[in-house]
Amino acid sequence: MKRAIQGFFLGFIVFTFSLAVVGGFLFIVTGGDIVNMARTAYISLSLAGRQGELDTPFGTNEEVTRFEIPLGTSTIAISEALVSANLITDAELFVDYARVQGFDRRFEAGVYFLNQTQTIPEIALILTDSSKSFIPFRTLEGSRIEEVANLIDGNNLFSFTGDEFLALVNGGTPIPAEFAEWAGIPAGVSLEGFMFPDTYQLPPSITAEELRDTLLETFRERVGDRLRDDAALDGYTIRDMVSLASIIEREAVHADEHPLISSVYRNRLDIDMLLQADPTVQYGIQGLRGSWWPRITRADYRGIDSPYNTYLYNGLPPGPIASPSLSAIRAAIYPAESSYFYFRAKCDRSNYHNFAATYDEHQQNGC
């Protein structure tokens, strides 16, 4: 009997010691929060039966949604915001998954771009690294600044509107002084022509002013000082040449015609002859016919009384009428050598042109 009691106490001591060791180990591993570890283990078991829900996205709409996590936002608040944005269906399931996977300690404040086709695991992973978020943005050759503004409004990833952007580029607003001096832009005029057409990857936090400056900086980098200095040798500012290039851009469908079309206009400028460029008439209509580039009639050549109308006013228009490509800018500064003063579209619908030195030849090129 005595031995039995001693064995019992010895076993109890070993059991207690083992329990203490295990408890100490768990205390260290869990950082003192054994209850939280147990709860996480329970949630993990419950998630095993909900894998189908985790792998099922909210919907099939691939339209991107701008989703922002302010600094200090809790996982619960994030999950509720995701539900409100129609990106997930179950806030509690998102919280449980984030907790089990440790994402709830890794969510990062910032702006993200999500869509309904992404699952909860995919969204949770994305929300841990805001540095991978960017706004894709493409400005097109031959576009007016109003068309750039329309692109902004058609892209729901920006935090500002097209009108807010226009207010910064449409004249009357101070622009970076260094760029204005470099490009020969007078105070108070529009930045038409300088929204360099390119494909951009923009930070999600970008402002309207920062977008303007990005487009201007890209223009200066791509055009460079050499083209500006060579334009000056002929007595032109880079803004003058952008004005001409914008006409060339709107006239040509094929870039390989840029230098030859430029030669026609440069030849006309040399003898003080009207440029008579149809795109300048379109620009003068200012979108009043439901399009920024409407079809025009012969009556419009004289009927559109705008300083941009090169059928009425000599020389270059007051400023650019669109954003030209680098090819068109180079062609304006380095025109082909020719004796041509006229051009018109070929009759074969190729969108190429016939060129002529005399008006009689020009008439003969008609369809």
Least confident of 70-74, 193-197, 219-223, 322-326: 70-74
Are residue 82 and residue 231 in the same domain, yes or no?
no
Are residue 268 and residue 205 in the same domain, yes or no?
yes
pLDDT of residue 16: 45
Are residue 271 and residue 320 in the same domain, yes or no?
yes
Asked whether residue 187 is assigned to any structural domain, the reply reads: yes
pLDDT band at 12 (very low <50, low <70, confident <90, very high): very low
Asked whether residue 241 is assigned to any structural domain, the reply reads: yes
Q: What is the DSSP letter of 143?
A: B
> What separation in angstroms does the CA of 259 have from each of 180, 244, 247, 347?
27, 12, 12, 21
The pTM score is 0.78
Nearest CA to 137 among 55, 64, 44?
64
Contact 218, 210 (CB under 8 A): no
Are residue 96 and residue 158 in the same domain, yes or no?
no
pLDDT of residue 161: 97
Asked whether residue 10 is assigned to any structural domain, the reply reads: no
Asked whether residue 351 is assigned to any structural domain, the reply reads: no
Are residue 123 and residue 149 in the same domain, yes or no?
no
Asked whether residue 264 is assigned to any structural domain, the reply reads: yes
Helix (H, G, I), strand (E, B) or coil at 342: strand
Q: How many CA atoms lie within 13 A of 192 on its CB side?
A: 26
Distance CA 255, CA 346 (A): 16
Instruction: Give the domain-ending residue among 109, 132, 155.
Output: 132
Asked whether residue 24 is assigned to any structural domain, the reply reads: no
Are residue 99 and residue 237 in the same domain, yes or no?
no
Q: What is the mean pLDDT of the chain?
A: 89
Average the pLDDT over 13-26 and give the result: 44
Are residue 127 and residue 267 in the same domain, yes or no?
no
Nearest CA to 217 among 170, 179, 256, 184?
179
Asked whether residue 8 is assigned to any structural domain, the reply reads: no
Characterise 349 by phi-psi region: left (phi > 0), alpha (psi -120 to 50), beta (else).
Answer: left
Strands (E), 47-109: 65-69
Helices (H) and strands (E) in the chain, counts: 16, 6
Split into its structural domains, the chain has a count of 2
Q: Find all residues with CB under 8 Å of 276, minimum gap 6, and list them.
A: 301, 310, 311
Residue 83's domain comprises 51-132
Q: In this structure, what CATH number is given to the domain that contains residue 109?
A: 3.30.1490.480
Asked whether residue 45 is assigned to any structural domain, the reply reads: no
pLDDT of residue 132: 83
